[in-house]
Amino acid sequence: MDIRDRILDAAKRVYAQHGFRGATTRLIAIEAGVNEVTLFRTFGSKAALFEALMQSHVAQSPIPTLPDTPRDPARELSDWIAAVLDHMRDSRALIRTSFGEIEERPQAAISMCERPNCAGKILTDYLFRLQAGGLAMADGDVPTVVAMLMSSMFGDAILRDVMAHAFPQPESEAASKYVNVVLRALGVQATWGRPVDIRPTDVRSAAGD
């Protein structure tokens, strides 16, 4: 790991623990094992360092994709949700700190939400593909389903450890539980391990046509 990455990694840990004001360049330099002169030579200022930190966080957070041709919605969505949840949980402390300072530093919170927002777009497109392929009810409210799912996932990742009663399902089962609700809301009939096979007449019947 080069010096720049060491400083960014240290800044991430110190910021998550102390917030922007408490994350002094001295603390970050100590955490990174460098002196403050090196820190300023590398980034120029504390503000520039934190801008680079947010950019690095987004760049190092690849968003999982969903298949262009859905074949097993239950498994595909469960794997996707599990991957997104894992990332949110890994970034829990950083996200909490950013939201705690949202009035003073709104851009940090926006950066923390960039990946979930992109994930929501990927999910929306996939669910519309389910509808276009006749695998979901044509009149299913995809935007609302996506909003509810992403909000639930965000809350699960950020608050489960402090509001355990609000999440009755075990963490290991969260993805599959969320998938079941999504598929039912959109009228998708799916079983694990085999492609979905819903006839157009079944979709119209489920939609009440």
| Mean pLDDT of the region 143-172 | 90
What's domain 3-59's superfamily in CATH? Homeodomain-like (1.10.10.60)
How far apart CA 154 and CA 164 sit, in angstroms, is: 14
Q: Record the pTM.
A: 0.74
Whether the predicted pLDDT of 40 surpasses 60: yes
Q: Which letter does DSSP use for residue 192 in this model? A: T
pLDDT digits (tens, 9 = 90+) for 58-76: 777 678 899 999 989 999 9
How far apart CA 192 and CA 120 sit, in angstroms, is: 23
Whether the predicted pLDDT of 43 surpasses 90: yes
How far apart CA 60 and CA 94 sit, in angstroms, is: 14
Whether the predicted pLDDT of 112 surpasses 90: no
Give the residue from 194, 196, 177 showing the smallest Cα distance to 185: 177
How far apart CA 36 and CA 64 sit, in angstroms, is: 37
How far apart CA 192 and CA 207 sit, in angstroms, is: 23
Q: Give me the residue spans of the domains in the chain.
A: 3-59, 73-206
